[in-house]
A and B are shown apart, each in its own frame.
Chain A
Amino acid sequence: MNTGFWRHNWFVALLLTLLFILTDYSTLLIQGLERTAYDWGVQASSRPLLNNPIAIIAIDEQSIANLGRWPWSRQIHAKMIHYLTLGKPKVIAHTVLFPESQIDPGLSPLLNSLEYLKKSRLKKIFASPADKNNKFDPLLAQEIRDLESLLSAGVQSLNSDQQLANALHNAQNVLLALSLNPGDPRGNPEHDLPEYVQRFSIPAPVMSLQEKEMPTITQSALPPIASLGQEAAGMGILNHDIDIDGGVRSLPLVMSYYGAFYPSIALITSAMTLNLKPKDIHFEEQGIIRLGNLKIRTNDHFRMRPLFYQNETEGPTFTTDSFFDVFTGKIPATKYQDKIVLIGPTAMGIGNFRPTPISPAMATVEILAHAITSILNTNAFVIPSWGYYAKGGVYFTIFFYIWAFLPRLNASAGAIWTLAVALFLLFIHLYLMLNQSLWLQFMGPLVLLITGYFVVTTKRFLITEKGKLRSDAESAESNRMLGLAFQGQGQLDLAFEKFRKCPVDTPMLEILYNLGLDFERRRQFGKAAWVYQYIHDHHPQYRDVSQRIKRSTSLDNTVVLNGGTHTMGITELLDESGEVQKPMLGRYVIEKELGKGAMGTVYEGSDPKIHRTVAIKTLSLQNEFEGQELEEAKKRFFREAESAGRLNHPNIVTIFDTGEEQNLAYIAMELLKGHDLERYTKPNHLLPLPQLINIIAKVALALDYAHQNDVVHRDIKPANIMYEPSSNTIKVTDFGIARLTEGGRTKTKTGFIMGTPYYMSPEQISGKTVDGRSDFFSLGAMFFQLLTGTLPFQAKDMANLLFQITQEPHRKLTDLRPDLPPCLEDIMNKILEKDPENRYQKGGYIAKALVTCFKTLPRKP
């Protein structure tokens, strides 16, 4: 009922925007989109590498197959490093963690044997071959020494940790991986990190950092074992951030462990490449990490979003060789001269694979390679510190767009503008990522924009739809009314044109049906058939429409056929079979229309069985009443018709039959010749007095007879008295019918329009009970008019007329016609008494008085 605030554009826009911002910050829906958009950006920015300094030695399936089950003996790693060292690589970063010692089960007994030998007297005896007191065979001494060195060699070869440590020591440029476990420490660490790890920590930032700017805090560590750690040239954290979708898009460059800061392996590898030490790594403002002259831009918590590179050609981005191929010397070590060599597992089962923006599964070592390249080329992506404000601003702009701009555009302009803005946002997003390495999260606003467009469009559609329905209904009503107006003016074609624009509902069917009847009445059967067909198309069962189509169509054809014969005076309409086609009502054949009465049409009909010609008066009761009232009206009608039918009097029209067909009640009665008395009411057409007295006396007697049979006429007026001068026949018609109309109207309507109450009695006007004496008053009024040519009451308007009839005396008869005998004046005064008690009580008395008076008239010679 009210146009609520929720229908306003500002509300819709605000609600949507708030909903989106809330979704953006609290759920993953929009973040997922943002990540996808980020991945597009990364893919688009991804560029080929020139002079790539990174080589990956992949511990792949082939290596595992040939070198045995994982984890391998560290001897193999040691050998590899020895081999690589020959090629003089710039730096070797080993991504395999060595957190525990590798002890061969054979080492212990071998060590024991060696210890035993060393402590034994044998050893002491043959310790110094140069001893002069040595009485033993020098060869034996040599054998013991050989045994000792053999045992030592056995111990050496089984102590793989030591071998690897030696290799690291020998190489001097091997970086090892350290694993730190993020989490807020609750107290102090179990153990401080050993000295060999701490030496690789980087200097604490000189400025104070906000919580958000602090490196990721860790709570536990997994360092390599001491023997290896002491020989490592550097150590870095092998961690990366995993997004909610499992993908890796960023990695921490620095992490903090109980106040100390450790670089990631990517960062330390880059530093080593640039011949820098961990102490050369510095924190700067706005999340920048300075590495020599390199400024690496990071996001919150010093996390870097690396660029991912692609090779121009198919295949891996970085030089990747199988560990086995290098191990067996198939690939010369010189290939790795001055290269950054990354060793790590890529075989299924041992490698750690993660999706990245450019690949659905990438091994850790490959991610590391991309990260190092990003650092060295300072290619990292950054969400600028003002990024969130920018996002808010864009949200607001879109809100404004949905609120104020979009609703003012038409549908196509709205679509074009929205598309343009969406493309612009996408363009900005990609432009910033490609050219500025900036990531602004515009996907939320973009989706808001598109959703806003659809909501506004839907809303508009619904409103216009409603408006359309509304105006449709309005224009249908308007068309219906204009059509009716045309129909009233007889412009049936125009009317049908208007009606066809209206929806065909029940009232419309009725209107159309009536239009069809109108066409029929005009003998435009083709058009009538057309209208009936139209009804039939919408409602095949409507009344007798199918029959009417058939009939009208055949009649239409007949008219065409008889076009030439029409002049020969043949007026009947013949159908194709040559039979006379006439409408039936009950058992009567309708011959022609005689006229229209108060409630229906009067036809001339004939009863084919007894060849009697009748007048058929129809009453469309359903136009006047409905429902319960219609039933009552019908009952009343048949009761009245029955009582009127019982009347058998020479001056009362004989009623033959009553019936009902298709809601059309009818009375079949004697077909009267002659005409009614209407024409004798004009002053210069008055009937001669004797003739008139004769007529009035006969009517009075007829009324007397009817009253004795308890039938009151109620509507005595000149139009209801039929007169045939040749046979001097008088017939009173329409007994009791007036009551139907009257009763109906007063009962159903509070307001009604008065007919012409010139002949009404005072008691009829004031709505009191009416009996036969009321008819006498009406008879008197009619008599007065037939005598003088004017009515007994003359008023300027109807209200006044009614007032006069009920309250004021009628005009004096002799004033108007002084030639009349005084006895006639007396009779008139008595008939027109206001109080029925003072009138003649019987029709017979009136007739008698008239006859008596007539006798006093001077006879003309």
Chain B
Amino acid sequence: MTSKNRWSMAALSDTGRQRTKNEDRYLCDPVRGLAMVADGIGGHRAGEIASSLTVTLLDKLIHQNTQPLLPEQIRQIFIETNLAIHQLSLSQPQYQGMGSAVILALFQHQHVTVAHVGDCRLYRLRGHSLECLTKDHTLYQDLLNQGHSSAQAREVVSPHTLSQAMGSATQINPTIDQFSIHTEDLFLLCSDGLTDMLLDEEIQTILQSKWIYNMNKNVQQLVHMANHKGGADNITAILIQAKSNYPFGFEWFQNTAHCLQHKLFFKRHLHDKRK
């Protein structure tokens, strides 16, 4: 049985310790090699509407486009999605000011195309070095990019203030990059709920831990650890690796990734209903 999925993915999303609901949304589709994490911003239900809209619309538009996608196509898809969300927030007062940070990683052949807006990140563990491949779209990061020191920047702005987000303005400028993939590379897509709680070294330790061959355990550990350290925000993490690295149970991982995704989806629903 040869599977057409070349990618093993494991994903987990959690409300965290301090929020009452999960405004993070994600999508992981090993068949298409597509993974997305969106972190919604906005009052009442607007945050989750924004993140959900982002994931749904991006997914739909990517689906409609012919593969493989070029970076320029992805940019157009982002712009289109942004406009749709922005229009909704303009026409509906209850959604005013909503937006969503989003990161999209499309694994194609020997490279990964990453597009993001906001502060969701992509990490890559290669050998013994964990590297963040994305630069947040926050005012703080923008100041650092302009050569200001972090002390200076911190005095001026809060590190969490986004400089752009899906749906918050008519204009959007997603950062799109391509990286080559080595067979042993392990990728992590996550929302700021994870990275605010954990230091890079801690993430690296977990990813290199004895569970190295079990992505699900790894992803659970990441979320667990973030919760342990406070869980101030919603936490979402997706791990992706080229499949050949996993010596057994390919189907298993894939099934589990789906399983987790849907289980959470339901939990979230139930949770909201109870409220």
A-side residues, CB < 8 A to B, are 1-3, 470, 473-474, 477-478, 480-482, 484-485, 487-490, 505-507, 510, 514, 518, 596, 598-601, 620, 622-627, 744, 748-754, 765-767, 797-800, 802-803, 806-807
> Is B45 in contact with A799, judged by CB distance below 8 angstroms?
no
Residues of the A chain whose Cβ atoms lie less than 8 Å from the Cβ of B118: 751
Q: Chain A residues near B56: list those with CB within 8 A.
A: 477-478, 481-482
A488 with B92: in contact, given A744-B43, A752-B162, A767-B158 (CB under 8 Å)? yes
B44 contacts A622, C-beta separation under 8 Å:
yes
Q: B265 touches which one: A474, A484, A623, A750 (CB < 8 A)?
A: A474
Decide if the interface of chain B is mainly helix, strand, loop or mixed.
helix
Pick from B142, B233, B263: contact of A1, CB under 8 Å: B263
A795 to chain B: closest residue by CB: B146
A interface majority secondary structure: helix
Complex CA–CA separation, A490 to B45 (angstroms): 20
Assuming the contacts A600-B93, A752-B41, A802-B157, asked whether A506 and B84 have C-beta atoms less than 8 A apart, the reply is no
Q: Are B157 and A484 in contact (CB-based, < 8 A)?
A: no
Find chain B residues with CB under 8 A from A510 CB.
Answer: 45, 94
Summed over the interface, the residue pairs from A and B with CB atoms below 8 Å come to a total of: 168
A-B contact pairs, 11 of them (CB 8 A): A473-B262, A477-B52, A481-B52, A482-B60, A488-B85, A490-B87, A600-B93, A620-B93, A623-B46, A753-B161, A802-B143
> Please, which residues of chain A bring their CB within 8 A of the CB of B92?
487-488, 514, 518
Residue on B with the closest CB to A505? B273
Contacts of A622 in B (CB 8 A): 44
Interface residues of B in 225-272 (CB under 8 A from A): 232-233, 252, 255-256, 259-260, 262-263, 265-266, 269, 272
- Known contacts A505-B273, A806-B156: A751-B148 contact under CB 8 Å: no
Q: How distant is A749 from chain B, measured CB to nearest CB, in Å? A: 6
Q: Which 3 A-B pairs have the closest CB atoms?
A: A488-B88, A799-B142, A481-B56
Inter-chain contacts of A484 with B (CB < 8 A): 49, 53, 88
Docked-complex contact B94 and A3, CB < 8 angstroms: no
B101 interface residue, CB < 8 Å from A?
A: yes
* A-chain residues with CB within 8 Å of residue B142 when the two chains form the complex: 797-800
Within 8 Å CB of A507, what residues of B? 45, 272
Let me know if B77 is at the binding interface, CB within 8 A.
no
CA distance in complex: A482, B156 (Å): 39
Q: Which chain A residue has the least Cβ–Cβ distance from B191?
A: A751
B 78-92 binary contact with A (CB < 8 Å = 1; else 0)? 000000111111111
Pick from A623, A750, A803: contact of B93, CB below 8 A: A623
| A3 and B160 within 8 A (CB) | no
Rounded to whole angstroms, the CA-CA distance of A67 and B101 in the bound complex is 109
Across the interface, do B87 and A751 meet the contact criterion of CB distance under 8 Å? no
Is B119 part of the binding interface, using a Cβ–Cβ cutoff of 8 Å? yes
Cross-chain contact of B97 among A482, A601, A753 (Cβ < 8 A): A753
CB-nearest residue of chain B to A767 = B158
Contact pattern, B 132-165, Cβ under 8 Å of A = 1, otherwise 0? 0000001111110010100011011110111111
Nearest Cβ in chain B — how far from A305, in angstroms?
49
Given contacts A751-B101, A766-B155, contact A626 B44 (CB under 8 A): yes
Is B39 located at the chain interface by the 8 A CB criterion? yes
Q: Is B30 an interface residue (CB 8 A)?
A: no
Q: Which of A488, A598, A766, A799 contacts B89 (CB 8 A)?
A: A488
Please tell me if the beta carbons of A750 and B256 are within 8 angstroms of each other in the complex: no
Question: A481-B52, A751-B101, A802-B156 given as contacts; is B192 within 8 A of A599 (CB)?
Answer: no
* Cα-based distance from A490 to B92 in the complex (angstroms): 10
Is B97 within 8 A of A2, CB to CB?
Answer: no
Which residue of chain A is the closest to B92 with respect to CB atoms? Answer: A514
A485 pairs with B84, CB closer than 8 A: yes
Complex contacts, B62 vs chain A, CB 8 Å: none
Whether B108 is near chain A, meaning CB under 8 Å from some CB there, is: no
Does A2 lie within 8 Å of B156, measured CB to CB?
no
Residue of B nearest to A626 (CB): B44
Instruction: Please name all residues of chain B whose beta carbon is closer than 8 Å to the beta carbon of A482 when the two chains form the complex.
Output: 56-57, 60
In Å, the complex CA distance between A750 and B162 comes to 10
Report B162 CB to chain A, min CB distance, Å. Answer: 5
Q: How far is the CA of A778 from the CA of B139 in the complex (A)?
A: 21
Which residues of A have CB within 8 Å of B156? 765-766, 802-803, 806-807
Residue from the list A470, A481, A751 in contact with B262, Cβ < 8 A: A470
Q: Is B33 an interface residue (CB 8 A)?
A: no
State whether A765 touches B157 (Cβ < 8 A).
yes
Q: Are the C-beta atoms of B139 and A802 separated by less than 8 Å? A: yes
Chain B: CB-nearest residue to A598: B96
CB-based contact B269/A473 at 8 Å = yes
List the A side residues contacting B87 at CB < 8 Å. 488-490
Interchain nearest-CB distance for A380 vs B (Å) = 51
A804: min CB distance to chain B, Å: 9
- Min Cβ gap B9→A in Å is 14
Q: Among residues 64 to 112 in chain B, which have CB atoms less than 8 Å away from a CB atom of chain A?
A: 84-97, 99, 101
Complex contacts, B84 vs chain A, CB 8 Å: 485, 488-489
Give A489's nearest chain B residue, CB to CB. Answer: B87
Q: Which residue of B lies closest to A625 (CB)?
A: B43
Residues of chain B contacted by A1 (CB below 8 angstroms) = 216, 256, 259-260, 263
CA distance A751 to B89 in the complex (A): 18
Determine if B161 and A751 form an interchain contact, defined as CB atoms under 8 angstroms apart.
yes
- Give the CA-CA distance A600 to B43 in the complex, in Å: 13
Cross-chain contact B259 with A487 (CB below 8 angstroms):
no
Q: A753-B165, A799-B139 are in contact. List 11 more A-B contacts (CB 8 A).
A: A473-B265, A481-B53, A482-B56, A488-B90, A505-B272, A510-B94, A750-B192, A765-B156, A799-B143, A799-B163, A807-B156
Chain B residues near A750 (CB, 8 Å)?
160, 192, 196, 232-233
Task: Flag whether B168 is at the interface (Cβ < 8 A).
Answer: yes
A470, A506, A753, A806 interface centre (most CB from chain B within 10 Å) = A753
Asked whether, in the complex, the Cβ of A751 is within 8 Å of the Cβ of B162, the reply is: yes
Bound Cα distance A701, B161 (Å): 35
Contact A799 B146 (CB under 8 A): yes
When the two chains form their complex, are residues B44 and A807 in contact, meaning their CB atoms are under 8 A apart? no
A800 in contact with B93 given A477-B56, A751-B192 (CB within 8 Å): no
Is B94's CB under 8 angstroms from A623's CB? yes
Please state if B162 and A753 are interface contacts (CB–CB under 8 Å). yes
- Give complex CA distance A806, B148 in Å: 13
* A489 CA / B152 CA spacing, docked (Å): 42
Q: How far is the CB of B155 from chain A (nearest CB, A)?
A: 6
Partner of A506, one of B139, B266, B273: B273
The docked-state distance in angstroms from the alpha carbon of A767 to that of B143 is 17
Asked whether, in the complex, the Cβ of A754 is within 8 Å of the Cβ of B163, the reply is yes
Bound: A767/B156 CA distance, A: 9
Chain A residues, Cβ within 8 Å of B196: 750
CA distance in complex: A767, B93 (Å) = 27
Give which listed residue, A3, A623, A626, contacts B255 with CB less than 8 A: A3
A624 touches B44 (CB 8 A): yes
A601 to B92, CA, bound (A): 10
**Which residue of A480, A489, A601, A623 contacts B43 across the interface (Cβ within 8 Å)?**
A623
**Which residues of A have CB within 8 Å of B85?**
485, 488
* Minimum CB–CB distance for A466 against chain B, Å: 8
Residues of B within 8 A of A506 (CB): 272-273
A418 to B143: give the CA distance in the assembly, Å.
71
B43, B85, B160, B192 interface centre (most CB from chain A within 10 Å): B43
Contact of A620 among B94, B162, B263 (CB under 8 A): B94
* Interchain CA distance A750-B24 in the complex, whole Å: 14
**Residues of chain A within 8 A of B163, CB atoms compared:** 754, 797-799
Residues of B within 8 A of A799 (CB): 138-143, 146, 153, 157, 163
User: Which of B20, B101, B162 has the most chain A CB within a 10 Å cutoff?
Assistant: B162
Central interface residue in A1, A488, A767, A802, by most chain B CB within 10 Å = A488
Q: How far is the CA of A158 from the CA of B92 in the complex (A)?
A: 121
Q: Is the CB of B89 within 8 A of A596?
A: no
Q: List the A residue with the shortest CB-CB distance to B59.
A: A478
* Residue on B nearest A619 in the bound complex, by CB: B93
Partner of B139, one of A477, A481, A624, A754: A754
Choose one: A478, A505, A749; the contact of B41 (CB below 8 Å): A749
Cα of A848 to Cα of B142 in the assembled complex, Å: 41
